[in-house]
Structure 1
Amino acid sequence: MSLYPYSYAILRAVPRVERGEFVNVGVIIYCQQLDFLRAAAAIDPDRIRALDHGADIATIERAVDAVLAACEQSTGSNRENSGLVTRFGMLTAPRSTVVQPSPVHVGLTSDPQATLEQLIDRLVRAPR
């Protein structure tokens, strides 16, 4: 079984940017050697409203959906420095919006799709 390096960032809903409080709502994962860029989300409106009862859930969902869609769009080759690596960099760049990426973390995987699902379970979904 071969292991490949990957990078990931957690998507955070920040309903009141000025307070800096957040709820994890998704994960973006990138594996250059496998040309793999995907994101998954699990938005829990109740957890977000615990930070701000007036949070605009629809806006947060649209922002997360835009990230998911950006990961699905076709792109050029990363070997030309214009492909998935650039897109991952753009999606994980710091920003002051209601959906923000965490710092980028790294790991090793033999199956990036399975790793994405594990990260969503471990880092996003509420503990059971």
Structure 2
Amino acid sequence: MTHEPEHAQVRQTWFTELLNTALNDLAHAERVITAFAAQEPDGFIAWGMAEGEATQAHRALRQAPSLQAAAPADHDTSNATADALFELAGKVCQSLVRAAELAADPDDKMACLQAALHAGRLREALR
């Protein structure tokens, strides 16, 4: 008895969860960074690189054909800190690499890897 169909379904479910979670996390990071930038007189200078990378990561991941079209969940931004964003970017990067490993579609794999690249750059910009 082969378990290939069940294994493939588990992989697909995990992959979909990773993609949706990463998309929501990137959208959240983008909103928080934009809010931080708007609060400071020179905020767009201080947060510009991070905001750009968050936006690019989000856009890159949106290119994944397997991504569900649902709008990202709206998160509360009042408790966010630069340290929390740094940790979030690292988590997203790792999740996207895992998702790329699970992706069956080459376009999904490419979208995940491009988004992971920008998430890594976002993390560096938040240091």
TM-score normalized by the length of structure 1:
0.29
Structure whose alpha-carbon radius of gyration is higher: 2
- Greater per-residue strand proportion: 1
TM-score (structure 2 length as normaliser): 0.29
Structure that is richer in helix per residue: 2
